[in-house]
Structure 1
Amino acid sequence: MFNTRLTQALGIDIPVVQAPMGWIARSQLASAVSNAGGLGVIETSSGELDIIKGEIGKMRELTDKPFAVNIAQAFVRDPDVVPFIIDQGVKFVTTSAGSPERFTDQLKTAGLTVYHVVPSLSAALKAVECGVDGLVVEGAEGGGFKNPKDVASLVLLPLIRAHLDVPIIAAGGFHDGATLAAAIALGADGIQLGTRMVASKESPVHDNWKQAIVNAKETDTVFLSRFAPPALRALRTERTTRLEKDPAQSGMADFGDPKALYFGGDMEAAIPLTGQVCGRITAVESVADILAKVKAEYELALNRVSTASKA
């Protein structure tokens, strides 16, 4: 059904990549995404490299489908992480939170495919100049770490496509088959899902966070630390509302205890990184059901476009 440069390069059935969210993007969730036809990704942004190495090993037990690893450079200071990933036979890596100059040559020399996460046209041009194979183009709608000079996906994606012809994974604001169709129409080869995967049954986070996403409106996220980067998009809570009112305050300096939030369910213990698509998520569903719906909704979206073009 799908035939994009992303599905061709990675051997996946559906051009959907799961976001590499710290403490969340581990084998339980990533294997479910890969087994359902998308691309599961193991995170490194938690910095717990000993645990992450075990999670990569678990992926071999839980799936025989392709999967990837993200190297979040600002949080990974162990240079041995790259040789370890190479030795594990991982074929696809995304790099983020740092310069594409750092690891691209080393990874590509070992035969890996490398995509770099970019929030702007200038960053995209630099990444391609450094030799990456593709880009994750991240609009400001998405949850997590953001460019303080925020640009929405609807502007950023076609802008970068107009200047570059490398494969693109569109991130930020994508949620379903209709937004996948929109991304492809704007020049992407696939999409990345983060918040939708946080609120999946296989997500390891506490049900309190999942239900907070289900109950959220489209206006229930905040953009933090615009003047004290890194900027963050997160779910509105008492903690994040306080930080929102002081744009010079660093969200990272007042991030809190992530494990108490992620696994203990205390929504005020830390900053719940969440994208604007929380306003469109109405239920906690299995990864298999989420991706099956993406396929069905994609077909419906194409039919709507086809019907409109004939009118």
Structure 2
Amino acid sequence: MAFANRVTQLLGVDIPILQAPMGFIAKPTLVAAVSEAGAMGLVPGSLGIDEVRADVRRTRELTDKPFGVNLPLAFVKDPAIVDMIVEEGIRFVTTSSGSPTAHTPRLKEAGLTVFHVVPSLRGARKAIEAGVDGLVVEGSEGAGFKAPREVSSMVLLPLVASQVGVPVIAAGGIADGRSMAAAFALGAEGVQMGTRMVATRESPVHDAMKNAVVAADETATMLIGKHTGKQVRVLRTEATAPFELAVEGDPFALLGDIQKLYRDGDLDAGLAQLGQVAGRIEQIEPVAEIIRRTVAEFEDTCASLARRHLAG
């Protein structure tokens, strides 16, 4: 099936699926595989300007299809990364974890398309005022750092979509064509997959991390760090479990050992950031197969709903 909506038009892709820009996970092999499949791969901009530049160039060697970069604003140490992105010819950027006013004017002046990640209607309105082209609306069931107040995609997505005029991409809980169809029914014109992309052949993380995704059930993740003023959704492990109901301590100290987790497969060495949708992922597969099946299932779901549930 062929998609034709504002997301595909703005991003120049065939399929309105984004791969989440996961630091240390979304490396060139994974990003390029997503773009080669007709979707939008995203290079994470959290790893420092030199590494991001190298990842952009390596990704370009692997694919001639469009891909973008994410700027996690709270973690950007060198503002010159914006100039580097422009100089490298990137045409699409998502911004997150900070004020959308920080770099949107510069990016827009350079002719880039900018989507901002938002966890609330208030955040969506601020991003619109800043001049972004679209939004990534992220529910609290997704992996990683979250807003202090939780809102699931089932509530947040239709709320934001009904209040803004820009295209919306849904993030949090997306793993297949059925969840993609549900997001579109709620007002999205695209979806972003994170945890689903961790458990792929092209993902560079240790097999222990991939197998943990497959083994997880729907209750295997939790939000920790609420007492610190920020919270993050992670896999429940021996190292993270003590923080589930904690009102003291620093769970983010585990971030310092993240490479032991991703590279060496020690699940207790870091914060394994996975979304609740891990409970729906049953096998490690190639990116192209995941995207192909997602599109086919999306089409079948959309076509069958009326036939199955409406009389006459």
**TM class by smaller structure:** over 0.9
Paired residue type of 1:147? A
Task: Give unpaired runs (5+ residues) of structure 2.
Answer: none
Q: State how far apart, in whole Å, the 2-side matches of 1:226 and 1:167 are.
A: 31
Answer yes or no: is 1:261 the counterpart of 2:261.
yes
Instruction: Report the equivalent of 1:24.
Output: 25
Whether the 8 Å contact between 1:141 and 1:275 is mirrored in structure 2 is yes
Answer yes or no: is 1:286 the counterpart of 2:286.
yes
Paired residue type of 1:280? R
Instruction: Report the equivalent of 2:76.
Output: 76
User: What is the Cα deviation at residue 48 of structure 1?
Assistant: 3.2
Q: State how far apart, in whole Å, the 2-side matches of 1:69 and 1:220 are.
A: 30
Change (3 A) 1:155 1:249: farther
Identity of aligned residues (%): 51
Instruction: Report the equivalent of 1:176.
Output: 176
Per the alignment, in what secondary structure is the counterpart of residue 222 of structure 1? strand
Q: State how far apart, in whole Å, the 1-side matches of 2:215 and 2:13 are.
A: 32
* 1:232-247 equivalent positions in 2, closer than 5 A: 232-247=232-247
Paired residue type of 2:108? K
Q: State how far apart, in whole Å, the 2-side matches of 1:32 and 1:89 are.
A: 19
Instruction: Report the equivalent of 1:226.
Output: 226
Q: Deviations over 1:59-109 (max 9, x none)?
A: 221111110000111111101100000001100000011100100000000
Instruction: Report the equivalent of 1:9.
Output: 10
Q: State how far apart, in whole Å, the 1-side matches of 2:247 and 2:281 are.
A: 28
Paired residue type of 1:16? I
Instruction: Report the equivalent of 1:157.
Output: 157
Whether the 8 Å contact between 2:45 and 2:71 is mirrored in structure 1 is yes
Instruction: Report the equivalent of 1:189.
Output: 189
- Give the total of aligned pairs: 310
User: What is the Cα deviation at residue 295 of structure 1?
Assistant: 1.0
Q: Deviations over 1:227-263 (max 9, x none)?
A: 2132100111011101113144443234340000011
Whether the 8 Å contact between 1:200 and 1:287 is mirrored in structure 2 is yes
Change (3 A) 1:207 1:254: closer
Paired residue type of 1:237? T
Whether the 8 Å contact between 2:227 and 2:246 is mirrored in structure 1 is no
Whether the 8 Å contact between 2:91 and 2:111 is mirrored in structure 1 is yes
Per the alignment, in what secondary structure is the counterpart of residue 291 of structure 2? helix
Instruction: Report the equivalent of 1:36.
Output: 37
Task: Give unpaired runs (5+ residues) of structure 1.
Answer: none
Q: Deviations over 1:165-189 (max 9, x none)?
A: 1111100011111111111111111
Paired residue type of 1:2? F
Q: State how far apart, in whole Å, the 2-side matches of 1:27 and 1:141 are.
A: 26
Paired residue type of 1:9? L
Q: State how far apart, in whole Å, the 1-side matches of 2:52 and 2:247 are.
A: 33
Whether the 8 Å contact between 2:42 and 2:68 is mirrored in structure 1 is yes
User: What is the Cα deviation at residue 304 of structure 1?
Assistant: 2.2
Whether the 8 Å contact between 1:148 and 1:227 is mirrored in structure 2 is no
Paired residue type of 2:134? G
Per the alignment, in what secondary structure is the counterpart of residue 132 of structure 1? coil
Q: State how far apart, in whole Å, the 2-side matches of 1:73 and 1:169 are.
A: 19
Paired residue type of 1:38? A
Whether the 8 Å contact between 2:254 and 2:269 is mirrored in structure 1 is no
Per the alignment, in what secondary structure is the counterpart of residue 222 of structure 2? strand
Paired residue type of 1:32? A
Whether the 8 Å contact between 1:118 and 1:124 is mirrored in structure 2 is yes
* 1:191-206 equivalent positions in 2, closer than 5 A: 191-206=191-206
* 1:86-235 equivalent positions in 2, closer than 5 A: 86-235=86-235
Q: State how far apart, in whole Å, the 2-side matches of 1:212 and 1:14 are.
A: 28
Per the alignment, in what secondary structure is the counterpart of residue 255 of structure 1? helix
Whether the 8 Å contact between 1:231 and 1:251 is mirrored in structure 2 is no
Q: TM-score, normalised by structure 2?
A: 0.97
User: What is the Cα deviation at residue 49 of structure 1?
Assistant: 2.6
Q: Deviations over 1:173-209 (max 9, x none)?
A: 1111111111111111100000000011100000000
Q: State how far apart, in whole Å, the 2-side matches of 1:165 and 1:176 are.
A: 26
Paired residue type of 1:162? S
Q: State how far apart, in whole Å, the 2-side matches of 1:256 and 1:88 are.
A: 30
Per the alignment, in what secondary structure is the counterpart of residue 253 of structure 2? coil
